Amino acid sequence: MSGKLSDKPATLLWFRRDLRLGDHPALSAAVARGGPVICVFIHDDSVAKLGAAPQWRLGRGLSALDAALRDKGNRLVLRRGAALDVLRDLVADAGAGAVYWTRAYDAQSRDHESDLTSALRADGIEARAFPGHVLFEPWTVETGTGGFYKVFTPMWKAVRGRDLDRPLPAPAKIPAPRTWPASDRLDDRAMGAALNRGAQVLATHAQPAGEAAAQGRLGHFMAHIVGGYGASRDRMAEDGTSALSDYLSLGEISARQCWHAGLRAREEGCAGADDFLRELVWREFAWHLVYHTPHILDRNWKDGWDAFPWNTDATRPRVRAWQRARTGVPLVDAAMREMYVTGRMHNRGRMIVASYLTKHLLTHWRIGQGWFEDCLVDWDPASNAMGWQWSAGCGPDATPYFRVFNPDLQRKRFDPDGAYVRRWVAEGQARPPATALAYFDAIPRAWGMAPNDAYPAPVVTAAEGRQRALDAYETFKN
DNA sequence: TGAAATGTTGGGGCG
DNA sequence: ACGCCCCAACATTTC
């Protein structure tokens, strides 16, 4: 590195859920500032403690980001502690003049960012948050009367034709400091510790992590899948969805990059492009709701639902059966096992298992939300919370309570030849596929399950569960 | 981004 | 030919 560059004060780039180099406004601004850029990720337990699978996935993402930074002549500094302490430390260490980051939208992060900004500015340091996590800043999307959208479709209509700047290219080079601040080592084993022996199964069956893999998947999706996406996304055995959720969750790809890819497909007359753009707006809807109504993350979004007679005991056998994927309802169990083995679940499966837990089993959505938070490598606080509240009936634009999925009927429609259930449920198969067997390698021994067990009768049948849910709703109404 | 029950319609078999 | 019944196939309503 030339002395000229080193003469300018360094900029700290504080990475969080934006583990990419392309279309990264804060990073591009840091590079444009001229001095060296010090990229840091901080494990700050006081702010967010992740579930087991998301934490494991984060480790993968950080490794990939470090590798990508090294290709640009830079590297990732890892630290543990309270973000302000760490950043101040690094500022002093490196003589940095600025700290840049990508803005977050949940209440806790906003408070945190605001405190941090004041503190750093008081130290005489430039502290700036940049957009990049969502397509549109939440305060720029308003209804006719100046409020925010509480129903999806009007929001979709309001934003689908909006102009959106083109994604930024990744910086060609990210200037390095003359000396590197100390960094923790990324300990893969520690990141996967809570997974127990499931870590190896996830490592085998999860998607590859990182920005390059994300771009690869987007390219594959655009070339081979999006054309038939309108229907293929519902066929559960098929690779017919975008599968971009874990990349989007950690910001290994930006929503804007996906949006522009979708727009190009739409211009080329691609039938599924609009459906894909719509899904991106669902993600947008979730984050905007988190911004405007932070309680969506942990309390019933709709007033009055606190009185609903949900069961909140997570130790009930039938809740255990749901978590352990042995409800005796094949499609529910298959989807739950897919999640345990791959860290992901088909979107239709998410709706089905959520309906089953909250309606057939009359269990509080927070219990399902928590389980997903622990098991999903694509766990996204906004989408997860909105999805659960949508399923339970207490959320924005929610399915009415009486709209109960029938898992047997869903199976007939979306897994008609049974390929999805066979892929994930070993019991009853003479020669179960490796995927179905992998589930038994992933789960704790203490669950006492084996692939040649008899497959159980349903803990609650479709018809009986439906009636109980409707009765509960009736009681609740009165 | 439901499911099931109920209502309506229209064609065909049959006396 | 006609009325009657049956029953898909849809449409509408209700949960």
Cβ of A180 less than 7 A from strand C: no
Give pLDDT, residue A47: 81
Q: pLDDT tens for residues A33-57? A: 999 999 999 999 888 789 999 999 9
Type of residue numbered A76: L
Res A7 pLDDT > 80: no
Give pLDDT, residue A193: 84
Please give the nucleotide, over all strands, whose C1' is closest to the CA of residue A466.
Answer: B3
Res A5 pLDDT > 60: no
Give pLDDT, residue A3: 44
In the structure, how far is the CA atom of residue A404 from the C1' atom of nucleotide B4, in angstroms? 11
Please give the nucleotide, over all strands, whose C1' is closest to the CA of residue A474.
Answer: C15
Region of poorest pLDDT, from A152-166, A195-209, A256-270: A195-209
In the structure, how far is the CA atom of residue A278 from the C1' atom of nucleotide B10, in angstroms? 40
In the structure, how far is the CA atom of residue A407 from the C1' atom of nucleotide B4, in angstroms? 14
Residue range A441-449: average pLDDT? Answer: 95
Q: pLDDT tens for residues A334-350? A: 999 999 999 999 999 99
Q: Dihedral (C-alpha) A386, A390, A396, A400: value to the nearest 10 degrees? A: 180
Res A124 pLDDT > 90: yes
In the structure, how far is the CA atom of residue A442 from the C1' atom of nucleotide C14, in angstroms? 44
Architecture (CATH level 2) of domain A9-131? 3-Layer(aba) Sandwich (3.40)
Give pLDDT, residue A476: 87
Type of residue numbered A425: V
**Strand B footprint at Cβ < 7 Å?**
A 152, 279, 282, 347-348, 351, 399-400, 402-406, 409-410, 413, 462-463, 466
Per the prediction, chain A carries an average pLDDT of 95
* Distance of alpha carbon A78 from alpha carbon A57, whole angstroms: 16
Res A372 pLDDT > 90: yes
Residue A2's pLDDT band, with cuts at 50, 70 and 90, is very low
C-alpha dihedral sign at A160, A164, A169, A174: negative
Cβ of A137 less than 7 A from strand C: no
Residue range A60-89: average pLDDT? Answer: 97
Cβ of A400 less than 7 A from strand C: yes
- Spatial neighbors of A282 by CB under 8 A, at least 6 apart, are A152, A383
Res A159 pLDDT > 80: yes
- Do the beta carbons of residue A385 and residue A107 sit within 8 Å? no
Pick the CATH number of A134-162+197-292 from 3.20.20.140, 3.50.50.60, 1.25.40.80, 3.90.480.20: 1.25.40.80
Give pLDDT, residue A1: 44
Give pLDDT, residue A13: 98
Architecture (CATH level 2) of domain A305-477? Orthogonal Bundle (1.10)
Give pLDDT, residue A401: 81
Region of poorest pLDDT, from A98-102, A322-326, A469-473: A469-473
With CA atoms as reference, report the closest residue to A355 among A469, A243, A476.
Answer: A469
Give pLDDT, residue A475: 86
- Do the beta carbons of residue A9 and residue A98 sit within 8 Å? yes
Residue range A1-29: average pLDDT? Answer: 86
Cβ of A470 less than 7 A from strand C: yes
In the structure, how far is the CA atom of residue A119 from the C1' atom of nucleotide C3, in angstroms? 90
Cβ of A402 less than 7 A from strand C: yes
Residue range A211-222: average pLDDT? Answer: 98
* Domains of chain A, residue spans: 9-131, 134-162+197-292, 305-477
Residue A69's pLDDT band, with cuts at 50, 70 and 90, is very high
In the structure, how far is the CA atom of residue A237 from the C1' atom of nucleotide C2, in angstroms? 54
